[in-house]
Amino acid sequence: MALYVQKYGGTSVGSVERIEAVADKVKGFRDRGDDVVVVLSAMSGETNRLIGLAKDIQAQPNARELDVLVSTGEQVTIALLCMALHKRGVDARSYTGGQVRIRTDNTHTKARIQDIETERMRADLDAGRVVVVAGFQGVDDNGNITTLGRGGSDTTGVALAAALKADECQIYTDVDGVYTTDPRVVEDARRLDKITFEEMLEMASLGSKVLQIRSVEFAGKYKVPLRVLSSFVDGPGTLITIEDDNTVEKPVISGIAFNRDEAKLTVIGVPDIPGVASRILGPISRANIEVDMIVQNVAADQTTDFTFTVHRNDYEKAQKILEQVVAELGARECAGDNKIAKVSIVGVGMRSHAGVASKMFDALANENINIQMISTSEIKVSVVIAEKYLELAVRALHSSFNLDSSDTVSE
Amino acid sequence: MALYVQKYGGTSVGSVERIEAVADKVKGFRDRGDDVVVVLSAMSGETNRLIGLAKDIQAQPNARELDVLVSTGEQVTIALLCMALHKRGVDARSYTGGQVRIRTDNTHTKARIQDIETERMRADLDAGRVVVVAGFQGVDDNGNITTLGRGGSDTTGVALAAALKADECQIYTDVDGVYTTDPRVVEDARRLDKITFEEMLEMASLGSKVLQIRSVEFAGKYKVPLRVLSSFVDGPGTLITIEDDNTVEKPVISGIAFNRDEAKLTVIGVPDIPGVASRILGPISRANIEVDMIVQNVAADQTTDFTFTVHRNDYEKAQKILEQVVAELGARECAGDNKIAKVSIVGVGMRSHAGVASKMFDALANENINIQMISTSEIKVSVVIAEKYLELAVRALHSSFNLDSSDTVSE
């Protein structure tokens, strides 16, 4: 008998029929004697419908009210799933984020979970009930409804699994696991049986949209075993775990991630003096714009160029902020490009293998793809290229690192 | 400068355009320096859509989960109205029933308000904000979401007005006031400028569907001046107040109410001994079935007949309960009819006028309408007739008591 936290996404609860199918699945676990806490997203399309209503009224709706509005989406699905479980003779009770007291900070639309009260869920589990919690939402210290931002239901799932010390957090989605890269780009992409948290983190943050990045951070931090599975077809999915040091042979690269949602901004001719980076990024972060890659090279003369990437939606906002910063810093000018893509190779194995980066650069050069930015970490190498080369680059790298399913790769 | 609690119903917030119109109206009051607390229903059709989803899953969904589900309807409108107010430069903040702490008992889908915390609303009003509260919903002592049942948003409005000691509770709806009877049945029906709480109570409970009965009880009990107005056209509406004793000339009858939502049940051949009434109605009330009229005549022999009416939706449920009761009491049998209608004449004036009831019976007799049941109170006389005679009866009474707008009636 295990305790599972199961998160079902929007397409998995997109209709009454799909909700009934989720109820069947949950009943299966209960019948085997497992305890289940279910976390749900809104029905697919519902969040967009609600945001559409808001935008009909105001282009930039107040964040607090937006949270009040969109949090209704999950509240609908939790009630419906409980009814579907009752219909099957399975006792169940629903809770909104505020009711289960998923306490967050007060950054509306992008709140972060601070703690979760588990007494009430424990009591329900002890009483033989399935607990059904609204994903994506919480409540701040003043009782205001908050949301965790898009994809936040994954984070709710992992946070609940951590708080309840669940045996596994299962993320049910419309794909049957984590692949070496997007199968829509590379036909031969392979499902991975296992991937480490660190690799998954790089994969998720870089655009393999299977899981929301914060949920993986959370899972890694609290050592919650995380499994990605399909809610439509049965299968083992992909288990995301702590690195297994006993694995003798590890592939150098686990996967190729990519992302076309970014834009790059460069401040040109920045005086090469201490404190410049924070004077550039300070105003950006205060405007709640998230920065991804940051690259600054050594200064050629007394000045340097400072480049970073943001989400494309924040591109114009960031540009406006930089105009001010350029003036204050006495920098030369600000340049930007929102027709870029980021491609990354990810793998724990690259730690012990030299030459991975150069192999990547070779593969891209062979296709005449110019590299605009490079950024590396212990287990990944990312490059920014022109968006139009994205598919070509991913295919070249997938093949160059022998990730195709036709190859035999020891795992 | 006054404090108004304004309740807008489902058709008044049925679309983004309608919500914008409500925002305009509220802004008008703010511009004149008034404080405003707004109570909203769900967008028209939304509650039925949600209940439809639930019924697709289960014919009799769990009441707790049904409340979680349908309470999302008002949560959507309060957020949207706040956005529309922000757009007009009016500061506003929304609250769900749980957030403003409208504390209720735990009778899901039919909960009753126990108390309301006003500190938070007061602080917002003092800060110059419009407070926008979700109607129809509250929270029990364990933090479970409850709803007050259909039409409960009116009750929320009146309860808030009482708690905040508002100058007036304004119920905006799709009619421009209270009429002498339903204008769809009697073309010459007249809008009343004023009506007493007691009269309104009889009118509401008897089916003039302008206001929900509990809201009028509340308003009368806490002496909250209540005004019914149209949210579509400007006008004074109808003020519902404490009886004004200075009015020299009062019309005998204020209006004709009717109701086709009832069914009658009779237990025939009940032993005429003490405690019988409670043994019949006890099980009915424990099943949460509301009873309206109750008639028991003197016993002819050792037995009597006991008749009462319930909502048509509860007819079959009540019949089943009575079968058991008949057996236990040793009564003869149970009979019922759900093709009935109730018609009532209502007026404070009838207190001091004899012969009102006989005038009513005469008017019905002239049309050959058979009376099945009679029940009277100080300010009303109700009769149950076959449903098919309803319109005929209402028109005959409206004319017989000189309520037609073509007549001059002192008010």
* Secondary structure in 3-state letters for chain B: CCEEEEEECCHHHCCHHHHHHHHHHHHHHHHCCCEEEEEECCCCCHHHHHHHHHHHHCCCCCHHHHHHHHCHHHHHHHHHHHHHHHHCCCCEEEECCCCCCEEECCCCCCCCEEEECCHHHHHHHHCCCEEEEECCEEECCCCCEEECCCCHHHHHHHHHHHHCCCCEEEEEECCCCEECCCCCCCCCCCEECEEEHHHHHHHHHCCCCCCCHHHHHHHHHCCCCEEEEECCCCCCCEEEECCCCCCCCCCCCCEEEEECCEEEEEEEEEECCCCHHHHHHHHHHHCCCCEEEEEECCCCCCEEEEEEEEEHHHHHHHHHHHHHHHHHHCCCEEEEECCEEEEEEECHHHHHCCCHHHHHHHHHHHCCCCCCEEEEECCEEEEEEEHHHHHHHHHHHHHHCCCCCCCCCCC
- Whether B54 sits inside 8 A of A80 (CB atoms) is yes
Which contacts (CB < 8 Å, 24+ apart) does range A214-217 have? A214/A112, A214/A148, A214/A152, A214/A154, A214/A155, A215/A151, A215/A154, A215/A155, A215/A157, A215/A158, A215/A171, A216/A158, A216/A240
Q: What is the structure's pLDDT at A376? A: 80
What are the chain B neighbours of A96 within 8 Å (beta carbons)?
A: 68, 145
Give CA–CA dist A168/A240, Å, rounded. 10
Task: Indicate whether B250 pLDDT > 80.
Answer: no
Give CA–CA dist A358/A371, Å, rounded. 12
Q: What is the pLDDT of residues B128-181, one digit of tens each?
A: 999 999 999 999 999 999 999 766 899 999 999 999 999 999 999 888 888 888
Token output for B5: 């609690």
- Whether A56 sits inside 8 A of B84 (CB atoms) is no
Interface probe, candidates A76, A86, A88, chain B, greatest B C-beta count within 10 A:
A76
- Whether B96 sits inside 8 A of A145 (CB atoms) is yes
Residues of chain B with CATH 3.30.2130.10: 245-411
Q: What is the structure's pLDDT at B197? A: 84
Residues of chain A with CATH 3.30.2130.10: 246-411
- Least CB-CB distance to A83: which of B20, B65, B78? B65
Task: Indicate whether B53 pLDDT > 90.
Answer: yes
* pLDDT (mean) for B173-198: 86
B115 or A207: which leads in pLDDT: B115
- Whether B65 sits inside 8 A of A143 (CB atoms) is no
* pLDDT (mean) for B354-364: 84
- Least CB-CB distance to A80: which of B53, B71, B98? B53
Q: What is the structure's pLDDT at A246? A: 53
Q: Is 0.85 exceeded by the ipTM?
A: no
Min Cα separation B85/chain A (Å): 10
CB atoms within 10 A of CB A224: 27
β-strands B168-173, B238-241: how paired?
A: unpaired
Task: Indicate whether B409 pLDDT > 80.
Answer: no
- B21–chain A Cβ distance below 8 A for any pair: no
Q: What is the structure's pLDDT at A271? A: 84
Interface probe, candidates B55, B69, B121, B137, chain A, greatest A C-beta count within 10 A:
B69
- Least CB-CB distance to B82: which of A50, A62, A80? A62
CB atoms within 10 A of CB A366: 10
Q: What is the pLDDT of residues A13-67, one digit of tens each?
A: 999 999 999 999 999 999 999 999 999 999 999 999 999 999 999 999 999 999 9
- pLDDT-derived band of residue B247, with 50, 70 and 90 as boundaries? low
What are the angstrom distances between the C-alpha of B64 and each of A68, A229, A237, B56, B60? Answer: 21, 31, 35, 17, 12
Q: What is the structure's pLDDT at A206? A: 59
Q: What is the structure's pLDDT at B36? A: 98
What are the chain A neighbours of B68 within 8 Å (beta carbons)?
A: 75, 78-79, 82, 94, 96
The A residues from 134 to 153 touching B (CB cutoff 8 Å) are 143-145
Q: What is the CATH number of domain B245-411?
A: 3.30.2130.10
* pLDDT (mean) for B273-295: 85
Q: What is the structure's pLDDT at B243? A: 66
- A94–chain B Cβ distance below 8 A for any pair: yes
- B387–chain A Cβ distance below 8 A for any pair: no
- A88–chain B Cβ distance below 8 A for any pair: no
Order of strands across the sheet that contains B226-230: B92-95, B130-134, B35-40, B3-8, B168-173, B226-230, B238-241, B194-196
- pLDDT-derived band of residue B352, with 50, 70 and 90 as boundaries? low
Q: What is the pLDDT of residues A245-261, one digit of tens each?
A: 555 455 678 889 898 88
Residues of chain B with CATH 3.40.1160.10: 3-174
The rounded Cα B270 to chain-centroid distance in angstroms is 33
Give CA–CA dist B402/A94, Å, rounded. 56
- Which residue in B has a C-alpha nearest to residue A76's C-alpha? B69
What percentage of chain B has pLDDT greater than the value 90?
A: 56
Pick the CATH number of A246-411 from 3.30.2130.10, 3.90.180.10, 3.30.2020.30, 3.90.1170.50: 3.30.2130.10
* pLDDT (mean) for B285-307: 81
DSSP 8-state secondary structure symbol assigned to residue A81: H
- Least CB-CB distance to B68: which of A58, A79, A84? A79
* pLDDT (mean) for B58-84: 96
Phi and psi at residue B390, in whole multiples of 5°? Answer: -55, -60
In which residue ranges of chain A is pLDDT below 70? Answer: 150-151, 204-209, 243-251, 298-300, 351-354, 405-411
Q: What is the structure's pLDDT at A21? A: 96
State pTM to two decimals: 0.74
- A63–chain B Cβ distance below 8 A for any pair: no
Min Cα separation B266/chain A (Å): 35
The A residues from 301 to 340 touching B (CB cutoff 8 Å) are none
Min Cα separation A145/chain B (Å): 9
Contact A217, A275 (CB under 8 A): no
Interface probe, candidates A26, A56, A57, A76, chain B, greatest B C-beta count within 10 A:
A57
Task: Indicate whether B410 pLDDT > 50.
Answer: no
- Whether B61 sits inside 8 A of A78 (CB atoms) is no
- B379–chain A Cβ distance below 8 A for any pair: no
- Which residue in A has a C-alpha nearest to residue B49's C-alpha? A76
* pLDDT (mean) for B300-308: 82
- A48–chain B Cβ distance below 8 A for any pair: no
Fold adopted by A3-174: Carbamate kinase (3.40.1160)
Task: Indicate whether B79 pLDDT > 90.
Answer: yes
